[in-house]
Amino acid sequence: MKIALDVLGGDLAPMTNIEGAMDYLNEVGDAAAELILVGDKKVIKSALQSYTYNNSKVHVFHTTEVVGMHEKPSRIFKEKPDSSLVKSIQLVKDGKANAAVSAGNTGALLTSSLFLIGKIPGIRRPAFAPFIPSSKGGFILCDAGANADSKPQHLVQFALMAGAYMEHLEKRPHPRVALLNIGSEKNKGNELTTATYPLLEKLVDNFIGNIEARYIMEGKADIIICDGFTGNIVLKLTEGIITHLMEWVQGLYYNQSDDDDLSSEFLSVLKEIQNTLDHEEHGATPLLGINGVVMKCHGSATSRGISNSLLAAQKTVEENLIADIADRLSQHKALFERDSKIGETNPV
């Protein structure tokens, strides 16, 4: 197996990405995939000199072009075909890598993957499905921003794709699927959610109904489905509030505390929470619906984040996630096509 790593993508690139790659190889040992480091040959070779590693597992694909985090993503694959981000995806398309991993511009990664690799047959929209940790075990949020506007049909496919992801990668069989909504009753919600509810009820195993945002951290659902606009708000708000609250607690505590000895227990509490909530632990998430394994790391991924992302990519390839998603879709094909016509003639 070969995994292409976008060495130039992410806030801490390139050194952190290289460090993460070395950590991955040394932790996994013989079972590790071979890595194709996509970036500046000179920088990579120079950096590698400070590591001890199995060099038969490391290949370098030279390029120096970078995609900025705030570049308009829609035409990156045409305007920057030589960028490390686009080249990493190209390697998957050409069958030279089994997976691509990048901490770069999310929109560019998505549009380039769509253009170069395309969607799994039958999938209408790809989805971004991060794992959100909590003290009660966490959940997958889907879609968290691959799409700005969604239709009921799309949400049903998000649920099927996220189900496959959850079962394979997180090893939770029969995950409970909930629809994010502004009330728990079936008839509550906006045009999109009220039209989506009956479809999820009919087509998705273990659909447990609506969930209100107040309860998403409480471990009542394994998968939470919503449109990409709402999901992106939820993802960023969750990160923002947790950061805000943790900084606030620490600031107040240090203001009030005269005695340095007092803070050891307090710090260990904060540490435990931060470790549980840390997105680095889960590494990258696959871009669901793309007909190949493309994994997105957090933009500020540390070396541990990169290392865990390479592990996640390896697992995604080994577990055959793409084939499983295709299989699940085909199982629902008859129902789906009938419903999709209804959905298409009555778009939200």
Which residues bind to a second copy, rule: CB under 8 A?
A: 70, 134-135, 145, 148-149, 180, 182, 185, 189-191, 193, 212-218, 227-230, 232-246, 248-249, 252-253, 256-257, 262, 265-266, 268-270, 272-273
Given the complex with a second copy, which of 49 and 256 has the nearer CB atom? 256
Is the backbone of residue 176 left (phi > 0), alpha (psi -120 to 50) or beta?
beta
Given the complex with a second copy, which of 211 and 313 has the nearer CB atom? 211
Closest approach, Cβ 143 to a second copy, in A, equals 11
Given the complex with a second copy, which of 27 and 272 has the nearer CB atom? 272
Given the complex with a second copy, which of 149 and 201 has the nearer CB atom? 149
Given the complex with a second copy, which of 116 and 192 has the nearer CB atom? 192
Alpha-helix residue ranges (DSSP H) falling in 80-180: 84-93, 106-116, 152-169
Closest approach, Cβ 272 to a second copy, in A, equals 6
Burial of 325 (0-12, 13-18, 19+ CB in 10 A): buried
Under 8 Å between Cβ of 223 and 139: yes
Question: Which residues have CB under 8 Å from 224's CB, separation 6+?
Answer: 139, 140, 141, 142, 178, 179, 180, 211, 216
Closest approach, Cβ 129 to a second copy, in A, equals 16
Looking only at the bridges linking them, the beta strands covering 223-225 and 177-181 are: parallel
Given the complex with a second copy, which of 243 and 330 has the nearer CB atom? 243
Phi, then psi, of 180 in degrees rounded to 5: -70, 125
Under 8 Å between Cβ of 38 and 14: no
Given the complex with a second copy, which of 30 and 265 has the nearer CB atom? 265
Given the complex with a second copy, which of 87 and 296 has the nearer CB atom? 296
Question: Which residues have CB under 8 Å from 245's CB, separation 6+?
Answer: none
Closest approach, Cβ 338 to a second copy, in A, equals 27
CA distances from 27 to 171, 253, 285, 293, 345 (A): 22, 38, 20, 22, 52
The SS3 assignment for 19 reads helix
- How many residues make up the chain in this entry? 348
Closest approach, Cβ 218 to a second copy, in A, equals 7
d(CA 12, CA 298): 11
Closest approach, Cβ 121 to a second copy, in A, equals 27
Which residues in the chain belong to E strands, given as ranges?
2-6, 34-39, 58-62, 99-102, 127-128, 131-132, 139-142, 177-181, 207-212, 223-225, 285-288, 293-296
Strand order from edge to edge, sheet including 293-296: 58-62, 34-39, 2-6, 99-102, 293-296, 285-288, 127-128
Given the complex with a second copy, which of 82 and 218 has the nearer CB atom? 218
Closest approach, Cβ 191 to a second copy, in A, equals 5
Closest approach, Cβ 297 to a second copy, in A, equals 17
